[in-house]
Amino acid sequence: MILIGRNVSPFVRRVASVMRLLEIDFEQRFLATADSIEDIAKFNPLGRVPSLVLDDSEILIDSSAIIDYLLELKDQNGDLLPKTGSERRSILRTVAIAHGVMEKGVASSYEQTRRSPEKVSDEWLSYLQKQIIWGLEDLERKAEHTSEWLHGDRLTLADVTSICAFDYINMRHPVLFDANSFLALKKLTDQGNKLPAFFETKPAI
Ligand SMILES: N[C@@H](CCC(=O)N[C@@H](CS)C(=O)NCC(=O)O)C(=O)O
């Protein structure tokens, strides 16, 4: 399998982390949307990452759809995400919040880096940044009221997505908040980053 995209994208990184956790072999093409859009569009007509090229050449796009396939392939016991029931729904809620933080973080970064300075809307930027904080506050409350991981003593897709989201926001928006105001989330992320699935995928910028 070939994963398209760089781990600086939190969406790519969460796929790469899931693949490592599930011990799935893959190679990665580190293409960036900023300068390789035409190559990326060969895999996804929208020119977005991640895409995953399967061994029979089928191409999957979008981190959620890719992870859905990976879980079907290698998470038979539902360790990362139970197949049915209230625990599944509760984990998917956390995943949606963390994925939303990623989306707002990327939108906020694009507003600052991909528009000409006179077109940047401070009002829109501040709204996006509020949404990031609201999402992180929700994850922080979850992290404060649990044991080892967000949904108990087992690492799940909720942890993978939250760790990738928190690292991304700290990397791209370092002045948005003091990481020490999200102590439980920081502890969770530090704990995750000790595992190969996270430290081997952590972008170095
Ligand atoms: N919903 C998608 C979001 C993917 C996404 O926004 N990727 C960004 C990189 S971080 C991208 O490709 N941006 C280029 C664009 O949307 O034009 C997912 O979960 O995979």
Atom of ligand 1 nearest to the CA of 99: 19
pLDDT-derived band of residue 197, with 50, 70 and 90 as boundaries? Answer: very high
Q: What is the mean pLDDT of residues 172-182?
A: 83
- Please give the Cα distance from 24 to 15 (Å, whole number): 11
pLDDT-derived band of residue 176, with 50, 70 and 90 as boundaries? Answer: confident
Distance from the alpha carbon of residue 153 to the mean position of ligand 1, in angstroms = 31
- Contact status, residue 92 vs residue 103, Cβ threshold 8 Å: no
pLDDT digits over 48-78, tens only?
999 999 999 999 999 999 999 999 999 999 9
- Contact status, residue 123 vs residue 88, Cβ threshold 8 Å: no
Q: Decide: 33 in ligand 1 pocket, CB within 6 A.
A: yes
Distance from the alpha carbon of residue 133 to the mean position of ligand 1, in angstroms = 20
Atom of ligand 1 nearest to the CA of 62: 20
Distance from the alpha carbon of residue 80 to the mean position of ligand 1, in angstroms = 23
Q: Decide: 44 in ligand 1 pocket, CB within 6 A.
A: no
pLDDT digits over 12-48, tens only?
999 999 999 999 999 999 999 989 999 999 999 999 9
pLDDT, residue 181, reads 84
- Please give the Cα distance from 161 to 156 (Å, whole number): 9
Question: Locate tokens 């035409």: which residue?
Answer: 38
pLDDT, residue 205, reads 64
Question: Locate tokens 């809307």: which residue?
Answer: 121
Distance from the alpha carbon of residue 106 to the mean position of ligand 1, in angstroms = 8
pLDDT, residue 174, reads 83
- Please give the Cα distance from 27 to 73 (Å, whole number): 17
Q: Does domain 85-195 have CATH number 3.40.640.10?
A: no
Q: Decide: 36 in ligand 1 pocket, CB within 6 A.
A: no
- Which residue from 174, 19, 180, 158 is spatially nearest to 94, judged by alpha carbons? 158
pLDDT, residue 185, reads 96
- Please give the Cα distance from 2 to 95 (Å, whole number): 24
**Tokens standing for residue 168:** 């991304």
pLDDT digits over 120-167, tens only?
999 999 999 999 999 999 999 999 999 899 999 999 999 999 999 999
Is 90 exceeded by the pLDDT of residue 179? no
Distance from the alpha carbon of residue 158 to the mean position of ligand 1, in angstroms = 19
pLDDT-derived band of residue 114, with 50, 70 and 90 as boundaries? Answer: very high
Q: Class of the 2-74 domain? A: alpha beta
Q: How many CB atoms lie within 10 A of CB 175?
A: 5
List the domain boundaries for the chain. Answer: 2-74, 85-195
- Please give the Cα distance from 20 to 26 (Å, whole number): 9
